[in-house]
Homo-oligomer: A and B are copies of this chain.
Amino acid sequence: MQKRIRDYGIEIGSLETGRLNKITDVSGVTVGHATIDDGPLKTGVTAILPHQGNLFTNKVVGSVHVLNGFGKSVGAIQLEELGTIETPILLTNTLSIGTCTDSLIDYMLEHNPEIGRTTGTVNPLVGECNDMYLNDIRTRAVQNRHVREALTSVTTDFQEGGVGAGTGMKCFGLKGGIGSSSRVVSYPHGSYTIGVLTLTNFGSLEQLRINGKQAGKIIKQRLAVQRDELDKGSVMIVVATDLPVSSRQLKRIIKRAGVGLSRCGSYIGNGSGDIVIGFSTVNQVAHRSDGRVNCHRYIHEDDIDPAFLAVADATEEAILNSMLTAETVTGRDGNTLYSLREFIGFL
């Protein structure tokens, strides 16, 4: 059982969390990891499945928001244009985006024999962060089998920390990785869940804040770090919800991930590719037209604020969870990153 920020008595915001306090609290969402931990190779793949059916034939309403575009994510152009997601979302290291894109295409072709024959092609979604500090990233260790492993090992109660794509990541000068959190928002018409998963690889130690407290300065003193590094790296943020929203509304909602990010101490640094991908599982879109006019359910715009707040708070918490659940790791060239857990007692 991994200890998370709430286990230390720290609650972010006042909204209720979902059952697992993970992105998988949104019904149908699962997450899988393939972890590569072999000497100087510290990297991997994380897969997020928006639902358990065929995503190509039943797309989910989706959206993408680029907080800072110093990043190499694949698939954003079509997601922005059409507002739908038609493949699982993969996260990996920056130099493995080609392999992951190719493997994801491979996987989609296998499950959809009509692609490239009787229908068009497919838009793979791959996000990335640069794990070169711990990982020998030039080796590009990720292979097709790792993508398959991530895609087939999906579960609702997935691991956080230094696993999957998070294996080699660095956050606020400490060990980063995969973290997640969720919130429940209530309306007269029902309760809905908003879940966030982050792949954290950004920030400078001095800037780290924990629920408003300037924890980074204290840790920096203890570590006797001299020169602080810039806010480099990146963060990938995936937002899932069962709230009935249009892709326009969804885009507004996922933009608020920047609020949580800022409160943790990021100033969305130049070198940090900070990208948010979101989807709503309720308004699914068939691949082919059935010749009819369809209906999409959506909330009134005046009802959108709780979703904004939920994303802001869940992102802040997911980032902290990614750091607390990660272990101290020594990787490439003896480079070591400490877990935030080693300092949480002093804060």
Contact assessment for A74 and B95 in the assembled complex, using a CB-CB cutoff below 8 Å: no
Stretch at the interface among A27-35, A173-181, A284-292: A284-292
Contact assessment for A302 and B270 in the assembled complex, using a CB-CB cutoff below 8 Å: yes
Q: How many residues of A contact B (CB 8 A)?
A: 98
Contact assessment for A70 and B99 in the assembled complex, using a CB-CB cutoff below 8 Å: no
- This chain's copy number in the assembly: 4
Contact assessment for A262 and B124 in the assembled complex, using a CB-CB cutoff below 8 Å: no
Stretch at the interface among A78-86, A152-160, A322-330: A78-86
Q: Which of A255-309 contact B (CB under 8 A)?
A: 255-256, 258-260, 262-263, 266-271, 273, 275, 285-286, 288-305, 308-309
The distance in angstroms between the C-alpha atoms of A98 and B90, with both chains bound, is 13
User: Which residue on chain B has the smallest CB distance to residue A67?
Assistant: B255
The distance in angstroms between the C-alpha atoms of A263 and B248, with both chains bound, is 25
Shortest CB-to-CB span from A99 to chain B, Å, is 5
Using A69-B81, A109-B95, A212-B212 as known contacts, say yes or no to A291 and B187 having CB atoms under 8 A apart.
yes
* A77 within 8 A of partner (CB): yes
Q: Which of A107-140 contact B (CB under 8 A)?
A: 109, 115-117, 120-124, 130, 132, 137-138, 140
Where the two chains meet, the residues of A that have a C-beta atom closer than 8 Å to any C-beta of B are 14, 66, 68-78, 80-83, 94-95, 97-105, 109, 115-117, 120-124, 130, 132, 137-138, 140, 187-190, 206, 209, 211-214, 230-232, 244, 246-248, 252, 255-256, 258-260, 262-263, 266-271, 273, 275, 285-286, 288-305, 308-309, 312
